[in-house]
């Protein structure tokens, strides 16, 4: 008698035989047999070139979705605003403020999402005839979210309606004070919410428990755009728009929405993909003086791409909130004066350079502390580093660097006296926002909140050990499961000769790439590393030569002191399998292909 026992799925084969790369990763081909079949079907049914079909199939794009994926439109993907809980009350209260000429104050967060959200809402209210005030809190002196002194100041200045964007979901005490002062409050936010919400006129948040819109992947500025659509529609029903006061074209504001969406690292799926795709087109028109000046100050050459928003423009706007005037970014986005825009952009560029210097010094201290802790306690679930006098404005960036280096959730906390302000960054599959909220409920933290991938917190020094124990307890299992999958996923193999500008442009049709829609990684098998040297900012610059003599330039960012950078330098003159992402680099009218290297392995010889 035979038993029909379940059989385990066969283990995936190592791509190019790389079971362990220089970074310790297993190389896995993204497409399994079913994915290969989907690639063939997409090519045959749609006429899409095979390499692009591979990228689409690898991201789960069905045959009947290909056309819409390659041309995502906001009009088609935008939901009815009323699908969001409290949207009706939100737009009605905003429309009342517009038609009655009320004094509205917009309170935003100090990051890019907050700056773009504030700028977008202010522009829409201005188009309706209002002159709204806006306030961006100082990260150090006010902290995150609405605070009572700021609300009192806005009320004293005559505001009758307070609108918070990218914050406010859990601001109970400040909003209680707002009610005492006669201020109505509308919240437009996307942060995780608890079971109890503050008492306000409207709270629009797709991540509140009773919201069934399915829009929890939107960042705040994407949500503000949906609110703006609802507000313009409500004002149209009230007959507000006329030839003297025309209804604004919201599509012209998609440059703001794209910037906030990429910078906030939300999944580039569905409506978010449309926001970024169309927002990049708007950005290339260079119609907004602030963003035009910022692109010039960032020395951005060629048409802006999604990664430019996250790595060039976003950090400069953030620099104001981190170590300078928190309102600078919003002022830049709202100004119509090119001279003022150039001055603000130059200041943000200077602050960004200063921020990088501060960050490097603190990262060195934090890494040393983390390495010592791991050495004493072994493989912990989380990294928790803290320091007296660290600049609170860079702890989020420090946490991100620790997460990258150690491959686990990281918390960085800046103490001033006995109180510490910190930030957390996580790895896929580990929800740090929930862990932080639980710590607040347990009384371990003074306050805190955030997303699955990022969180902020305030903690007393005496509670630091208790916080560490709590994080280890609640995150250990999910961290272990997440870290068990340590692999580089390869979309295909190419040669240096095949990496042409036309190929990169073809692949980019599947973009924009980012969170939720990963940029394709290609392997270059058995290419000789003819050059590998450290460069500026801990880069390692590399040149690969294919078998036909074609040379491809590449760079490994922040890699000089990592296993990746050291392996690249050690492999000079040898053949290696190199993996990375292809990008176009435009400089002085010339366009060339560069490889952003993420992994390397020496081929087996036998």
Residue 376 confidence (pLDDT)? 56
CB 183 within 8 A of CB 155: yes
pLDDT band (50, 70, 90) for residue 398: very high
- The answer to whether residues 460 and 505 belong to one domain is no
Domain end call among 446, 463, 487: 487
CB 403 within 8 A of CB 410: yes
In a domain, 363, yes or no: no
pLDDT tens for 325-384 read 999 999 999 999 999 999 999 999 999 999 999 999 999 999 999 888 876 555 789 999
CB 325 within 8 A of CB 137: no
Domain end call among 228, 251, 274: 251
In a domain, 357, yes or no: no
pLDDT tens for 222-238 read 999 999 999 999 999 99
pLDDT surpassing 90 at residue 549: yes
Q: What is the mean pLDDT of residues 579-588?
A: 86
Residue 106 confidence (pLDDT)? 98
pLDDT surpassing 70 at residue 495: yes
Q: What is the mean pLDDT of residues 430-434?
A: 93
Domain end call among 487, 510, 539: 487
pLDDT band (50, 70, 90) for residue 264: very high
- The answer to whether residues 448 and 585 belong to one domain is no
- The C-alpha atoms of residue 162 and residue 156 are separated, in whole angstroms, by 12
- The C-alpha atoms of residue 518 and residue 267 are separated, in whole angstroms, by 9
Q: Which residues contact 92 (CB under 8 A, 6 or more apart)?
A: 234
- The answer to whether residues 475 and 549 belong to one domain is no
pLDDT surpassing 50 at residue 407: yes
Specify the DSSP element, H or E, that contains 33.
helix 33-46
- The C-alpha atoms of residue 53 and residue 510 are separated, in whole angstroms, by 9
Residue 2 confidence (pLDDT)? 43
CB 484 within 8 A of CB 30: no
Tell me the whole-structure pTM to 2 decimals: 0.91
Q: What is the mean pLDDT of residues 417-423?
A: 92
| Count of positions (residues) in the chain | 606
Residue 3 confidence (pLDDT)? 45
pLDDT band (50, 70, 90) for residue 99: very high
In a domain, 148, yes or no: yes
Using alpha carbons, select from 372, 377, 557 the residue that is nearest to residue 469: 377
In a domain, 120, yes or no: yes
pLDDT tens for 181-199 read 999 999 999 998 889 999 9
- Going by their DSSP bridges, the two strands 184-188 and 575-587 should be labelled as unpaired
Hey, which bits of 67-221 come out as E strands?
104-108, 133-135, 161-165, 184-188, 202-204
- The answer to whether residues 546 and 454 belong to one domain is no
- Name the domain count of the chain: 3
- The answer to whether residues 470 and 551 belong to one domain is no
Q: Which tokens go with 71?
A: 């041309």
In a domain, 293, yes or no: no
Kindly report the CATH number assigned to the domain that includes residue 218. Answer: 3.90.1640.30
Residues forming beta bridges with residue 580, ordered by sequence position: 522, 597
CB 526 within 8 A of CB 579: no
pLDDT tens for 158-181 read 999 999 999 999 999 999 999 999
Q: Which tokens go with 568?
A: 């690249």
* More confident call, 64 vs 12: 64
Residue 445: half-sphere exposure toward Cβ, Cα within 13 Å: 26
- The answer to whether residues 449 and 576 belong to one domain is no
Contacts 24+ apart (CB under 8 A), 27-34: 27/487, 27/488, 27/490, 27/523, 27/577, 27/579, 27/599, 27/601, 28/487, 28/488, 28/489, 28/490, 29/489, 29/490, 30/58, 30/489, 30/490, 30/491, 31/57, 31/58, 31/491
Contacts 24+ apart (CB under 8 A), 438-441: 438/470, 438/474, 439/467, 439/470, 439/471
CB 512 within 8 A of CB 263: no
CB 433 within 8 A of CB 449: yes
- The C-alpha atoms of residue 492 and residue 604 are separated, in whole angstroms, by 19
In a domain, 384, yes or no: yes
- The answer to whether residues 171 and 204 belong to one domain is yes
Q: What is the mean pLDDT of residues 89-101?
A: 98
Strand, coil or helix: 454:
strand
535: domain range? Answer: 491-601
CB 524 within 8 A of CB 579: yes
- DSSP class of residue 14 equals B
CB 125 within 8 A of CB 160: no
- The answer to whether residues 96 and 202 belong to one domain is yes
- The answer to whether residues 110 and 238 belong to one domain is yes
Q: What is the mean pLDDT of residues 246-265?
A: 96
Strand, coil or helix: 242:
coil
Residue 606 confidence (pLDDT)? 35
pLDDT band (50, 70, 90) for residue 589: low
- The answer to whether residues 498 and 463 belong to one domain is no
- The answer to whether residues 433 and 462 belong to one domain is yes
DSSP string, 299-331: T--SS--HHHIIIIIHHHHHHHHHHS-TTHHHH
pLDDT tens for 5-23 read 454 455 678 999 999 999 9
Kindly report the CATH number assigned to the domain that includes residue 436. Answer: 3.10.310.30
In a domain, 334, yes or no: no
In a domain, 71, yes or no: no
Q: Is 465 exposed, middle or buried (0-12, 13-18, 19+ CB in 10 A)?
A: exposed
Kindly report the CATH number assigned to the domain that includes residue 555. Answer: 2.40.50.140
- The answer to whether residues 425 and 519 belong to one domain is no
Q: At what angle do helices 314-323 and 338-377 cross, to 10 degrees?
A: 80
């Amino acid at each position: 008698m035979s038993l029909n026992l379940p059989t385990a799925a066969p283990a995936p084969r190592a791509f190019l035989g790389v079971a362990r790369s220089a970074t310790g990763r297993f190389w896995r081909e993204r497409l399994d047999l079913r994915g290969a079949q989907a690639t063939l079907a997409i090519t045959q049914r749609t006429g899409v070139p095979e390499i692009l079909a591979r990228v689409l199939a690898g991201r789960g794009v069905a045959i009947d979705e290909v056309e819409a994926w390659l041309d995502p439109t906001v009009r088609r993907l935008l939901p009815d605003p009323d699908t969001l809980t409290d949207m009706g009350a939100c737009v009605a209260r905003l429309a009342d403020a517009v038609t009655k000429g009320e004094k509205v104050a917009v309170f935003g967060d100090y990051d890019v999402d907050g700056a773009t959200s504030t700028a977008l809402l202010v522009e829409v209210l201005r188009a309706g005839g209002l002159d709204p005030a806006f306030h961006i809190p100082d990260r150090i002196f006010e902290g995150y979210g609405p605070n009572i002194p700021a609300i009192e100041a806005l009320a004293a200045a005559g505001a009758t309606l307070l609108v918070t964007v990218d914050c406010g979901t859990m601001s109970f005490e400040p909003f209680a004070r707002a009610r005492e002062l006669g201020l109505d409050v509308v919240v437009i936010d996307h942060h995780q919410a608890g079971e109890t919400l503050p008492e306000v006129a409207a709270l629009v948040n797709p991540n509140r428990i009773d919201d069934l819109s399915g829009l929890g992947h939107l960042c705040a500025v994407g949500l503000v755009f949906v609110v703006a659509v609802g507000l313009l529609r409500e004002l149209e029903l009230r007959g507000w728009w006329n030839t003297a006061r025309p209804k604004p074209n919201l599509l012209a504001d998609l440059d703001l929405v794209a910037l906030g969406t990429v910078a906030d690292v939300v999944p580039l799926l569905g409506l978010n993909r449309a926001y970024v795709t169309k927002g990049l087109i708007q950005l290339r028109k260079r119609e907004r003086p602030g963003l035009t000046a910022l692109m010039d100050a960032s020395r951005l050459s060629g048409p802006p791409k999604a990664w430019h928003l996250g790595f060039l423009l976003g950090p400069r706007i953030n620099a104001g909130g981190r170590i300078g005037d928190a309102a600078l970014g919003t002022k830049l986005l709202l100004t119509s004066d090119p001279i003022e825009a150039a001055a603000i952009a130059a200041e943000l560029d200077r602050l960004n350079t200063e921020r990088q210097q501060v960050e490097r010094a603190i990262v060195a201290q934090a890494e040393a502390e983390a390495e010592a802790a791991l050495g004493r306690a072994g493989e912990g679930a989380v990294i928790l580093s803290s320091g007296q006098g660290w600049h609170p404005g860079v702890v989020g960036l420090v946490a991100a660097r620790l997460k990258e280096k150690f491959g686990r959730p990281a918390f960085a906390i800046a103490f001033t006296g006995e109180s510490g302000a910190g930030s957390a960054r996580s790895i896929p599959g580990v929800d740090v926002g929930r862990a932080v909220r639980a710590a607040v409920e347990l009384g371990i933290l003074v306050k805190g909140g955030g997303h699955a991938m990022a969180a902020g917190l305030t903690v007393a020094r005496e509670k630091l050990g208790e916080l560490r124990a709590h994080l280890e307890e609640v995150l250990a299992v999910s961290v272990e499961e997440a870290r068990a999958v340590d692999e580089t996923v390869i979309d295909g193999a190419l040669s240096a000769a095949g990496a042409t500008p036309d190929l990169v442009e073809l692949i980019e049709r599947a973009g924009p790439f980012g969170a939720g829609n990963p940029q394709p990684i290609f392997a270059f098998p058995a290419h000789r590393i003819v050059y590998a040297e450290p460069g500026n900012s801990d880069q390692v610059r590399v040149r690969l030569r294919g078998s036909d003599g074609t040379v491809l330039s590449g760079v490994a960012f922040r890699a000089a002191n990592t296993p990746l950078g050291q392996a690249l330098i050690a492999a000079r003159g040898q053949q290696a399998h190199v993996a990375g992402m292809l990008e176009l680099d435009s400089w002085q009218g010339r366009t060339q292909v560069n490889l952003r290297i993420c992994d390397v392995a020496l081929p087996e010889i036998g």
